[in-house]
Amino acid sequence: MAHEHIMVVDDEEDILELVGYNLERIGYKVTRVDSGEDAVRIARDKEPDLILLDLMLPGIDGLEVCRLLKQDNRTSSIPIIMLTARGDEADVVAGLEVGADDYVTKPFSPRVMLARVKTVLRRAGDAQPKKDDVISIKGLVIHPGRHEVSIKGKPVNLTSTEFLLLHQLARRAGWVFTRQQLIDAARGEDYPVTDRSVDVHIVGLRKKLGAFGEMIETVRGVGYRFREK
């Protein structure tokens, strides 16, 4: 039986009950929230293991909630799955850009939703690598065991997806990865992704790494590689 705590945020009571019921049925602890403001407050207070977050909310919308939580050290590592009634690529990319880890488009089947939840939780809880797997490159330190990145001793706040992409590139410096190979490493082979969403993550990663971002090179027509030392 599952035991993780999941917060479901949606202003539609029917959706809250449907999602909550299916999660509780297999053992998850569920907190139901119907507004963006309450979502931010409760997430900071209870620190759930995962958040299912509707994109369209009254007041603070889902994108802003996601942005606020990912900018807060107390909640930045909580995986977020966006629930959206919009199926077009722009909304998916917008959610990924502010730090969402996955998305489910309404209307969705409970089976698909549960599969995404299990996948994201499994990825977040995977056994951590050994200490000797730490990557250190000219002041950039990537610590897989702690899921931490620092530059010259100063921490860099990355989303879980940004971290996984950076680690995949840096651990095989000089190797060229296609966009699909990168997203497979970060999310699993069944994740429905577009080339554009990978590019968005890379752009965000480069910005956060500052001068070190130049070490992530675009290989035109193929994908990306991390420049060798």
CA distance 217 to 202: 10
The pLDDT score that the predictor gives to residue 127 is 38
Overall CATH class of domain 131-226: mainly alpha
| Beta strand ranges found along 2-132 (DSSP E) | 5-9, 29-33, 50-54, 80-84, 102-105
Return the closest-CA partner of residue 102 out of 49, 53, 38, 43.
53
**Beta strand pairing status for 177-178 and 223-226?**
antiparallel
- Contact between residue 177 and residue 226 where contact means Cβ atoms under 8 Å apart: no
The pLDDT score that the predictor gives to residue 91 is 72
The pLDDT score that the predictor gives to residue 89 is 66
At 149 the three-state DSSP class reads: strand
Domain boundaries, the chain: 5-124, 131-226
- Contact between residue 226 and residue 173 where contact means Cβ atoms under 8 Å apart: yes
The pLDDT score that the predictor gives to residue 86 is 66
State the fold for domain 5-124.
Rossmann fold (3.40.50)
* Rounded mean pLDDT for each run of 10 residues along the chain, 229 residues in total: 88 94 95 96 95 91 92 87 76 78 86 90 60 79 87 89 89 85 68 71 92 93 83
CA distance 16 to 26: 16
DSSP summary character for residue 211:
G
The pLDDT score that the predictor gives to residue 161 is 81
| Beta strand ranges found along 96-210 (DSSP E) | 102-105, 135-137, 140-143, 148-151, 154-156, 177-178
- Contact between residue 85 and residue 105 where contact means Cβ atoms under 8 Å apart: yes
Q: Which residue has the tokens 């410096």?
A: 173
